[in-house]
């Protein structure tokens, strides 16, 4: 009975984490697009704000004893920080210069690219169904840290990298720069974007560390459908019949993945029960 209660609580936590990620991920896309369209805030500077606010949020969480920092060697996190930094910068750059539909399509290509990288760089093999380990999840297990502990060190490292890079690509103190003249409404929107980015970053790390990367990516396809529809409603992005059919196919794929995943889990349980 206790084991059943633990499983129910565990599934409840995962469902809550996925729901939080769903809400904040959709919100951050629309909010960032609004900032780019209506205020013209620079991309890399906005990403820098995101990482700084993320670190400040984690610092507050640490002071409230929500987690205990763990000493980690910077060399172990340098490449991860650089990769995550590049991921967010180029994601925001795509959002800044493309429609939400094109932006979401580019993000949807991450799953096949991840499979190719894992196959050729890490010599991993995959079943025809579901088996995949992403770098963030592997790093958490390698360093024996949770999502907050890992992000607590990654965020300031990414912030430092962007702090060095921003002056080479964007104005700093001039008009249109991060320290240039901005309206109060623009600054409030950027700050709100940073707070939501903190929640997005934390939920991404938590989901990958507590489920599987494929689960996160399949869940991302569901967000893809909602975000595409939201772009049509809020920013009048064109939504063709082909895109509508694509959304239905995506939802069908999510349902099929869920069915396969549950079938695999039931099969594993049956094998364990049959062992003498």
pLDDT higher than threshold 90 for residue 112: no
CB 131 within 8 A of CB 211: no
pLDDT value, residue 91: 81
- Lowest mean per-residue pLDDT among 5-9, 58-62, 71-75: 5-9
Who's near 62: CB < 8 A, 6+ residues apart? Answer: 68, 69, 148, 152
pLDDT value, residue 243: 61
Q: Over the stretch 190-202, which tens digit does the pLDDT of each residue have? A: 999 999 988 887 7
Cα–Cα–Cα angle for 71, 75, 77, rounded to 5 degrees: 70
How do the domains of the chain map onto residue ranges? 16-219
Q: Over the stretch 121-174, which tens digit does the pLDDT of each residue have? A: 766 655 444 333 344 555 555 556 666 777 788 888 888 888 888 888 888 888
pLDDT higher than threshold 60 for residue 96: yes
Q: What are phi and psi of 242, to 5 degrees?
A: -60, -40
Q: Over the stretch 203-251, which tens digit does the pLDDT of each residue have? A: 877 777 777 666 666 676 677 677 767 776 766 666 667 666 666 666 6
Tell me the pLDDT of the chain averaged across its residues: 74
SS3 call for 181: coil
CB 49 within 8 A of CB 193: yes
pLDDT higher than threshold 80 for residue 89: yes
Mean pLDDT (whole number) for 251-273: 60
CB 100 within 8 A of CB 235: yes
């Amino acid at each position: 009975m206790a084991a059943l209660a633990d499983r129910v609580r565990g599934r409840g936590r995962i469902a809550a984490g996925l729901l939080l990620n769903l809400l904040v991920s959709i919100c951050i896309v629309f909010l960032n697009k609004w900032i780019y369209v209506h205020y013209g805030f620079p991309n890399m500077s906005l990403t820098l704000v995101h990482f700084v606010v993320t670190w400040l949020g984690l610092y507050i969480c640490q002071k409230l004893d929500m987690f205990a920092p763990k000493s980690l060697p910077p060399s172990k996190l340098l490449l991860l920080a650089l990769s995550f930094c590049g991921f967010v910068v180029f994601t925001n750059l795509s959002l800044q210069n493309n429609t939400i539909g094109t932006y979401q399509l580019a993000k949807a290509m991450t799953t096949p690219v991840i499979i190719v990288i894992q196959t050729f760089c890490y010599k991993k093999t995959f079943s025809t169904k579901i088996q995949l380990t992403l770098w963030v999840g592997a790093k958490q297990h390698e360093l024996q840290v949770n999502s907050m502990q890992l992000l607590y060190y990654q965020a300031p490292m990414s912030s430092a990298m962007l702090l060095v890079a921003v002056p080479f690509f964007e104005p700093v103190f001039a008009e249109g720069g991060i320290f240039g003249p901005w309206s109060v409404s623009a600054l409030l929107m950027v700050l709100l974007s940073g707070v939501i980015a903190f929640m997005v970053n934390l939920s991404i790390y938590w989901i990958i560390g507590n489920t599987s990367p494929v689960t996160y990516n399949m869940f991302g396809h569901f967000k893809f459908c909602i975000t595409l529809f939201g772009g049509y409603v809020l920013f009048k992005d064109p939504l063709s019949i082909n895109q509508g059919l694509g959304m239905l196919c995506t939802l069908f794929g999510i349902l099929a993945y869920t069915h396969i995943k549950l079938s695999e889990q039931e099969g594993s349980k049956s094998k364990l029960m049959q062992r003498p």
